[in-house]
Amino acid sequence: MKPFTSMQSTSKPQHVKRLLQADRLFGMTSVPTPSVLRMPAGGGATVAGGSSKGASIGAVSVESKRMQLDVLDREHVKGCKKCRLCEGRTNTVFGDGDANARLMFIGEGPGFDEDKQGVPFVGRAGQLLNKMIAAMGLTREEVYICNIVKCRPPNNRDPAADEVIACTPYLHEQVRIVEPEVIVALGSPASKLLLDTQTSIGRLRGQFHDYHYTNLSGEVSSISLMPTYHPAYLLRSPHEKKKTWDDLQMVMKLMGLPLPQR
């Protein structure tokens, strides 16, 4: 997130405008206050809600992350034929957003619009996800978004077990490279895969879990993971939006993002 260098009293800052445009998605009566500067441990000012990682690891390392993701996509994912999903795809759908994001959203697989454009979450569910991100006081460009599988399953069905097995090494590598502070798993398939469980999404959501992975230094580490409902499910079951907003507010609190004023 770019620092706010100027906030004229005669107009609302763009940060607040984005939140107001979220259509009060989760029944909010107010919006989070604009980002303010804070001092991370180790010195150097960063914007609350923006990435403090860039300041600590340096621009070269951020560029290295971008390059690693690009190589993974270009040399491995785009031409992948490890499962039958490759037979019907128009485009592979790798990922979108900040390679150094603090927050990562993971869904199950691309749909019709994503397959056509090669970008995750650009259909109706993607439009809702954009509003969810805006309600958190962030933009799509400040987070990282991807799916378990990189090719569209026929008729938007859930990915089959063999398809997941073939594709998840790419996902785990994306997580290892981006190394977010928090992961939001969107829906049951993503939540169950990342947590290696058969527990229902209704029981998983509402609390943080540990996602274990091997970091870039070769050490086993963990990332806080919040399971919540998939935007496509929320389109069919809008009464569950309140629960999802509760989950996202827990994520905001953990990340130090400003919560809505009550």
Question: Between these two residues, 240 and 25, which has the higher pLDDT value?
Answer: 240
Set out the domains of the chain in order of their start, with CATH numbers: 58-255 (3.40.470.10)
Question: Between these two residues, 6 and 126, which has the higher pLDDT value?
Answer: 126
pLDDT band at 215 (very low <50, low <70, confident <90, very high): confident
Alpha helix positions (H), 25-123: 53-57, 59-72, 112-117
Ranked by mean pLDDT, the top range of 2-6, 38-42, 47-51, 213-217 is 213-217
Strands 220-228 and 144-147: unpaired
Contact 86, 166 (CB under 8 A): no
What 3-state DSSP class applies to 206? coil
pLDDT band at 132 (very low <50, low <70, confident <90, very high): very high
What is the pLDDT at residue 49?
Answer: 41
**Residue tagged 């378990």 (tokens):** 148
What is the pLDDT at residue 216?
Answer: 75
Minimum mean pLDDT range among 35-39, 113-117, 223-227: 35-39
Cα R_g (the chain), whole angstroms = 18
Residue 12 reports pLDDT greater than 50: no
Residue 115 reports pLDDT greater than 50: yes
Average pLDDT over residues 189-218: 94
* Distances in whole angstroms, Cα of residue 41 to Cα of each of 55, 140, 182, 228, 247: 11, 26, 19, 30, 27
**146: β partners:** 95, 106
Question: Between these two residues, 40 and 153, which has the higher pLDDT value?
Answer: 153
| Contacts of 8 by beta carbon, 8 Å cutoff, 6+ apart | none
pLDDT band at 106 (very low <50, low <70, confident <90, very high): very high
Average pLDDT score over the chain: 83
Average pLDDT over residues 169-194: 96
Question: Which H or E element spans position 133?
Answer: helix 124-135
pLDDT in tens, 19-40: 443 444 544 444 444 333 222 3
What is the pLDDT at residue 176?
Answer: 94
Q: Global pTM?
A: 0.80
Q: What percent of the chain has pLDDT over 70?
A: 77
pLDDT band at 262 (very low <50, low <70, confident <90, very high): low
What is the pLDDT at residue 218?
Answer: 83
